[in-house]
Structure 1
Amino acid sequence: MDREELGGWLRLTLSPGVGNGAARRLLARFGLPLSIFAQPEAALRVCVTAAQARALCEVPPTWAELLETTLQWLGGSPASEAADAPARAVVTLGDPRYPQALLDTEDPPLLLYLVGPRSLLQGQPFPRHNCLAIVGSRNPTAQGADNARQFARALHGAGLTIVSGLALGVDAAAHEGALDASAPGRHGSAAAPATIAVVGTGLDRVYPRKNLDLARRIATQGLLVSEYPLGTPPLPANFPKRNRIISGLSQGTLVVEAALASGSLITARTAIEQGREVFAIPGSIHAPQSRGCHALIRQGAKLVESAQDVLEELRMVASEGLQAQAGSTQSDEREEVEAEGNAAELAVESPLLQALGFDPVGIDALVARTGMDAASLQVALLELELEGRVARLPGGLFQRIGAA
C-alpha cells in the first residue's frame, strides 16, 4: 500500500462508532476506503446511521499521528536484511495475504498488523489449512504447562501451525513447544510459521514483558499478529475480543487447562460458534484449572489424551500434505512412545511416585502414605525433581509429572 491508501484504511478503523460490521457494508457498496471518504454524508447514510455518517466525514484527531507512526514502523526493517530477519506488514481485507479462514468468520478485522520473517511476509504468511489453537490457564499446574509444550511440539511436528495468545502459562508453553519442533533437525514445514501469536496490544509493544524473549523468537520463526493500532496498551477488553481471531485462524481449539470463568472458555465458545472443533484435556477432579475442561467435555468437546487423538479427529478436514507429514513421522513417534513407556514402567516401580499419585500433595500427606520421615522425603523428592518426574508447587506441594 502507498501512503494514501494506508491512510484511508487507518482512518476507517479510527472513525468513532464505526465498527467492523458497518465498515464492511461501506466497503461492499463503495469499494476502497478512499472511495468511502469521497462520498457525501447523505450517500453514506444508505449504509450506516446518521451519527456514523457524520463521524466518517470528520478526520479523527489521532489519524495523522498514527499514519506517521505506522509508516515509520513499516520502514523499520530494511529490505537489505536477511530473509529470516523479522519484517513488518499491514494486511487489509482486500489483500490476497489476508487469511481466508478469518474471512469466513462473522467478524473479521479490517486490518492485521504482522511481524515475522521477511520470506514469510512476502508470500502467503497464513497457512490455508492446518492451524490448531492451544489455549489454557495463565497459572497452569506443572503438568498442564508440560502438556501444552508436548502437545504443541508433537502437533507442529506433524504439520500443524500452533496458534495461541502469547499469555503467560499455557499460551507461552504452547508457543515454545512449536518453536522447539521447528528447530533444525526437527520435523515441520519451513513454508508455514511454526506458531502464530495473536496479541491484544499494538505490535510495537510486548505484553506481558516476561514474554519479550519469546516474542522475539516467534518473530524469527513464526508470526506475531494484532488487529490493534500501534501504541494500543494492554486494555482488559481487548484480550477476550482477540480470542475470535485465535479460534478463527484454526481448524480446532485445544484447551489444556482452564478455570470455569476464563478467557480460554471464551475462545472455546467462539470456536464452536465458528463451526470449529473443540478439544479438551481432562485433569484432576481436585484442580480448579481442570474444571473448565471438564465442563467443555460434558458439553460435547472431544476428550483427548494424546496428540494422535487430535490428529485423527482433524484428518476429516486435513489436507493430504498433513496426512503425509503425519505418516512420515510415525516411526519417530513410535520410538518416542516406546521411550515414554519405559519411563512409565520405571515410574510405576517407585513407591514414592505411586504415593504421589497425579494430584498436588503436601509433605504431611506423603509422610502418612509412605511411612517415611520428612527429611528422607525431602531428599527423595529433590532427586525426582532433578530427574524431571516431580514439580515443586507453591504452598509446599508436589506434583508428579507424566508424559503427554
Structure 2
Amino acid sequence: MPERVGPRAHAAVTPAPDAAGAPGGDAPAPRPFSALDEAGRTEYWAALALRHCRGLGARSRARLLRAFGSAYAAVRAPGEWGRAGLNRRQAGELATGAWRAEAHKEWDGARALDAAILLWTDPAFPRLLRELSDAPALLYCRGDASLLRAPAIAVVGSRRAGPHALEVAAHMARRLAACGITVISGMAQGIDSVAHAAALNGVGRSIGVLGTGIDRIYPRSGGELFERMARRGLLVSEFAPGTPPLAGNFPIRNRIISGLALGVAVIEAASRSGSLITARMALEQNREVFAVPGPALDAQCAGCQELIRQGARPVFSVEDILRDLAEVLRPYSISEASLPPEEAAPQAPSPAPPLAGAARAAAETLGTADRKERLLAHLRENGAVHIDTLAQALEISVAELSALLVGLEILGRVRRLPGARYEATP
C-alpha cells in the first residue's frame, strides 16, 4: 500500500476525506466506494484533484496519468509536470487548493451513492479507452463491468429516426449481440434506445454511456430501459454523481462511446447530427466507422452519406461489419460463422412513385456518365458483385462508388442485394 496521503506527502492533496481504509480484498473491479481500501481512496481523491484543478483538461490529465502511472504519483510531484508537457502555471494551480471544494462535493456524492468506481490504475480499466489522448481518469459504473472486456461495436444515430431506420438499428443490434459482440450507445431516444433494447433481448448485452451522473435517468421516459441496463447490461459515466443533463456533456461523452468500441455504425444521421461527432471522434481514435447510406435524397440520411464520402465504410448488413473487422475479432472466435440463422432483414419502404423532374436531375448528378456506363457494363457482364470487388475492378474508391450506386439505384438501373452486393436491373 502506498504511503498515506498526508502533510509529508504533498500539502495540496491532504488529507483525502474519510481516508481511513476499507476492506477491499479480492473484490471485483470496479469496487463500490465502501469497498475501496486506503490505496483506492487515495488514488480516487488524487483523481478528483486533477479533475477539478483549473487549467487541466482531459488531454492534460491523460498526459499526467501516462507520465506518472497514477493520479497519486502525479499530484505528489507537480514540480515534474514538465515531463508530461505541462507548464508551471498548471502545476501552480494544484498548489492553490482551489479544487478542493468541488472535489469534496464529488467525493461526498460518490460516498452517499456508494457508487462503483473504476480508476485508471485498475487492471480492469478498458485497454482501448486507456489509449485515448483524452482518456478519463475514472469511470462510475452500474451493472456488469465484465462487459468492458468484451469486443464491442457502437450503434448510433438520430433521436428522431424514421420507422425503417429504427428497424434497421434493432436488426443490426440483435445480430451483433447474438454473435457475442457488446452493443454500445448513448441511451438517447431514437436509434440509441432501440439498439440497447434490441441487444438486451435473448443472450445479448449492451453498454450505455451517460452524459449525466450515473444516478440520473435521462431522458425521463427512459426509466425502464435504464433499469434493464443496470440489471443486464452496464451503465458508465465519467461525470460526478448528480450531474444534470447539460448540453455540453453529450459531445464529451461521445468520445467514450467510440473509445470503448472497435468500430462505430451510424444508422441514420442528418448533416448536423450529434452522431457525426461520435463518428469523427472514432476516426481520430483510429476506429472503424460504418454508415448505412439510406436514400440519397433523404435529409435524415445526409450525415451518413457525408461520412461515406469522407471514407466511412458503407454497410448493408452485420455480415459487412464482421468481414471488415475479421482480424480484430478472430482472437474472440467471432466471425460470420458465429451468426445464428438469418432472421428476416428489414424491408425497405415501398417503392416511391416515379421520380419528379428535380429528384431525377439530382440523382443524375451522382457520378459522371462515363463511370456509370463502366459500372453498368461490369454488372451486366458479371452478374451480382460485392461492392468491394466492384471498387477494385473499376479502380475507384468505395466512397465514390457508393455515390454512383446510390444514384443508379434511385434511377432504377441497379438493384441492391443482401450482403452489400449489387446487380444491374433488366
RMSD, aligned α-carbons: 2.7
2:286 aligns with one of 275, 284, 288: 275
Which string of whole-angstrom CA distances, capped at 9 and with x for unpartnered residues, describes residues 300-335 of structure 1? 2211112222122221321343436x52544x22xx
Distance 1:172 1:156 in 2: 15
Distance 1:126 1:14 in 2: 26
Equivalent residues of 2:158, 2:270 under 8 A apart: yes
Normalised TM-score (structure 1): 0.71
**Residues 1:113 and 2:140 are matched in the alignment:** yes
Aligned to 2:124: 97
2:304 aligns with one of 284, 290, 293: 293
Q: 1:354 to 1:62 in 2, by over 3 A?
A: closer
Distance 2:315 2:106 in 1: 45
Quote the offset at 1:261 in angstroms: 1.0
Which string of whole-angstrom CA distances, capped at 9 and with x for unpartnered residues, describes residues 195-234 of structure 1? 1111111112021111121111111111111111112221
**Residues 1:169 and 2:190 are matched in the alignment:** yes
Distance 1:61 1:51 in 2: 20
Q: 1:30 to 1:313 in 2, by over 3 A?
A: closer
**Residues 1:54 and 2:99 are matched in the alignment:** no
2:337 aligns with one of 298, 305, 327: 327
Aligned to 1:242: 253
Equivalent residues of 1:154, 1:181 under 8 A apart: no
1:311 aligns with one of 322, 335, 348: 322
Quote the offset at 1:271 in angstroms: 1.1
**Residues 1:17 and 2:44 are matched in the alignment:** no
Quote the offset at 1:299 in angstroms: 2.0
Equivalent residues of 2:251, 2:277 under 8 A apart: yes
Distance 2:69 2:267 in 1: 43
Unaligned 5+ runs, structure 1: 75-87, 183-187, 189-193, 359-402
Distance 1:68 1:174 in 2: 34
Distance 1:201 1:323 in 2: 33
Give the AA of the match of 2:323. Answer: E
Distance 1:28 1:321 in 2: 28
Distance 1:27 1:131 in 2: 25
Equivalent residues of 1:202, 1:229 under 8 A apart: yes
Aligned to 2:106: 66
Equivalent residues of 1:97, 1:125 under 8 A apart: no
Equivalent residues of 2:62, 2:135 under 8 A apart: no
Quote the offset at 1:43 in angstroms: 4.8
Distance 1:29 1:255 in 2: 35
What secondary structure sits across from 1:232 in the alignment? Answer: coil
Quote the offset at 1:167 in angstroms: 0.7
Distance 1:52 1:234 in 2: 29
Quote the offset at 1:289 in angstroms: 1.0
Q: 1:303 to 1:26 in 2, by over 3 A?
A: closer
Distance 2:71 2:351 in 1: 65
Aligned to 2:266: 255
Aligned to 1:6: 44
**Residues 1:219 and 2:241 are matched in the alignment:** no
Equivalent residues of 2:69, 2:121 under 8 A apart: no
1:146 aligns with one of 151, 155, 167: 167
Q: 1:103 to 1:45 in 2, by over 3 A?
A: closer
1:284 aligns with one of 295, 312, 315: 295
Quote the offset at 1:356 in angstroms: 7.3
1:135 aligns with one of 134, 152, 156: 156
In the comparison of the two structures, how many residue pairs are matched? 316
Q: Which has the higher contact order (CA 8 A, sep 6+)?
A: 1
Give the AA of the match of 2:149. Answer: P
Moved more, 25-34 or 164-173: 25-34
Distance 2:129 2:282 in 1: 12
Distance 2:264 2:176 in 1: 12
Distance 2:287 2:158 in 1: 21
Quote the offset at 1:244 in angstroms: 1.2
Equivalent residues of 2:147, 2:207 under 8 A apart: no
Quote the offset at 1:282 in angstroms: 1.8
Equivalent residues of 1:200, 1:242 under 8 A apart: yes
Distance 2:288 2:81 in 1: 39
Equivalent residues of 2:213, 2:242 under 8 A apart: yes
Unaligned 5+ runs, structure 2: 1-35, 356-417, 420-426
Quote the offset at 1:27 in angstroms: 3.7
Distance 1:301 1:42 in 2: 44
Give the AA of the match of 2:111. Answer: L
Equivalent residues of 2:109, 2:240 under 8 A apart: no
What secondary structure sits across from 2:328 in the alignment? Answer: coil
Equivalent residues of 1:131, 1:163 under 8 A apart: yes
Which string of whole-angstrom CA distances, capped at 9 and with x for unpartnered residues, describes residues 167-219 of structure 1? 1111111101101143xxxxx4xxxxx11111111112021111121111111
Which string of whole-angstrom CA distances, capped at 9 and with x for unpartnered residues, describes residues 139-188 of structure 1? 00111111111110111101111011111111111101101143xxxxx4
What secondary structure sits across from 2:155 in the alignment? Answer: strand
Give the AA of the match of 1:7. Answer: W
Quote the offset at 1:94 in angstroms: 1.0
